[in-house]
Amino acid sequence: MHLAHLRLRDFRNYPRLDLDISPGFHLLIGDNAQGKTNILEAVYLLATLRSFRGVGGAQIIRHDQKGYFVGARIVGPDEHEIKMYWSARERKLSLDGRPVRKLSDYFGLLRAVVFCTEDLQLVKGAASRRRRFLDLLLAQTQPTYLPLLQRYTRALRSRNALLKQRPPDPAALEGFTRELVLTGNQLTQYRGELLPRFSPLARLAYRRIAAEEEELRLEYQSSIKSDFAVELAQSRTREQSFRSTVVGPHRDELRLVLEERSAAQFASEGQKRSIAIALKMAQAEYLTGIHGTAPVLLIDDIMGELDAKRRGGLIPLLRRAHRSRSQVFMTVTKEDWPEELGRDLVRWRIKSGTVCRLTP
C-alpha cells in the first residue's frame, strides 16, 4: 500500500501542493522551518485523522485562510481517493467521492507509523499517551474497535456530565452505567489480548536498538480488578466527591518495564529514547504481521540524533517497507547517511512551502 498522490491546499505553509509519489524510500531534505514535518503531518492526518503534533485543525489552516484541504490517492490491492476538508464551520471527509459515515470504513485504508521527537512522551508522559497508542494500534487492526471506543467515550462523557448534577438522575445514571460497563468490558478485553502479542515485538525491537542487552516488557494494568460493574458500584462515594467516573478503561495504564523496573521512573534518558523507538518499531511490525503489508513509515528528524547502533537497528525495518512496495518518508536537514540506506532513494528538496524532486 502506498500514497500515489498527495494534494494540499492551505495546509500549514503550503498554499498548494500536488505531488505524484512512487513506492519506496523518500528523503525530504531542507533547512529548518521549510515544511518538511508539515508533509509528514499531512500524511499522518490522512491515516489517523489526528495530527501527531497533538493540535487541532485550527492550527493547521494556513495563516489568514479559512480552511485546509488534504487529499490523496492510495494504491494497494485496490485504489482509493480520500479527501478531507476542515474549517471552523465545516468538516468533510470523503472516500471515493462519497461522504464517510462510519469511521471504521475509513480507518485502515492508509496505515502509518510516525517516528518523531514527541515519541519520548510515550515513556515520560501521562498514561493517556500510552492508552492512545494502544487505541490507535487497535483501531488500525480491528475494525470493530474504534466504534466501540467511541461508544465508551460518549457514555463516559454523558455519565461524567450527569455526576456533576446534584443529585444525578438515577435512571439516566443507570442507563449510562450499563453502556459504560458493556463497552468498557470489551475494550479491556481487546487491550488485554493485544499485550501478549505486542510485548514480545517491543522486547525484540528494544534488543535491536538498545546499547545494552536489557529486557523490555509491557504490562497492561487495568483499573478494574475483576468485575467492572461491581467496582463501579463500589466507587460511588469516590465518584460523588470527584464528580466523575473513577474506574474503567479510561484509567488504565500500559506499564513499561525495563529490567523489572518502571521505565518512567528508573530508565535513563537514552534508555527512554530507545524504548520510545522500540514501541514504534513494534507498532510497524505488528501492523505488517496482521495486514501482510508494511505501513507507511514517517520518520521525522530522529535519525540525526541516533547513534550508529540505533540507526543500524532501524534499518531492516526501513528496508522491509521499501521492499514490500510500501513507503518511507524521512526528513533530514543534511543528507548524511546515504550509504546505509542503499542508492535507490528519491530525494526531494523542501524550501519555504515548495517541494522539488531532485532525483529522476
Binding site for ligand ADP (CB under 6 A): 12-13, 30, 32-38, 59-63, 331, 350
**Which residues contact Mg ion (rule: CB under 5 A)?**
36-37
| DSSP reduced 3-state for 271 | helix
Give min distance, CB of 59 to ligand ADP, in A.
Answer: 6
Task: Name the residue among 157, 162, 163 with its Cα closest to residue 180.
Answer: 157
Q: 268 or 352: whose CB is closer to ligand ADP? A: 352
Q: Which does 191 bind (CB under 5 to 8 A by kind): ligand ADP, Mg ion, none?
A: none
* Amino acid, single-letter form, for residue 229: A
Q: Which does 235 bind (CB under 5 to 8 A by kind): Mg ion, ligand ADP, none?
A: none
| Cα gap 275→267, rounded to integer Å | 9
Q: Which does 306 bind (CB under 5 to 8 A by kind): ligand ADP, Mg ion, none?
A: none
Q: What is the dihedral of CA 316, 255, 107, 294, to 10 degrees?
A: 10
Long-range contacts of 258-267 (CB under 8 A, 24+ apart): 258/214, 258/215, 258/216, 258/217, 259/214, 259/215, 260/215, 260/217, 263/123, 263/216, 264/123, 264/124, 267/123
Give min distance, CB of 242 to ligand ADP, in A.
Answer: 37
Q: 72 or 256: whose CB is closer to ligand ADP? A: 72
The residue with its CB nearest to Mg ion is 37
Sheet with 261-262, edge to edge strand ranges: 216-221, 253-258, 261-262
Give min distance, CB of 335 to ligand ADP, in A.
Answer: 14
Q: 323 or 351: whose CB is closer to ligand ADP? A: 351
Q: Which does 13 bind (CB under 5 to 8 A by kind): ligand ADP, Mg ion, none?
A: ligand ADP
Q: 36 or 310: whose CB is closer to Mg ion? A: 36
Give min distance, CB of 312 to ligand ADP, in A.
Answer: 25
Q: 37 or 141: whose CB is closer to ligand ADP? A: 37
Give min distance, CB of 32 to Mg ion, in A.
Answer: 7
| Cα gap 346→343, rounded to integer Å | 9
Q: 34 or 327: whose CB is closer to Mg ion? A: 34
CA distances from 94 to 67, 74, 233, 307, 349 (A): 16, 13, 42, 42, 30
Q: 23 or 30: whose CB is closer to ligand ADP? A: 30
Give min distance, CB of 36 to Mg ion, in A.
Answer: 5
Give min distance, CB of 56 to ligand ADP, in A.
Answer: 12
In sequence order, the 6+-apart residues with CB closer than 8 A to the CB of 187 are 145, 148, 149, 152, 249
CA distances from 358 to 27, 135, 347 (A): 10, 38, 5
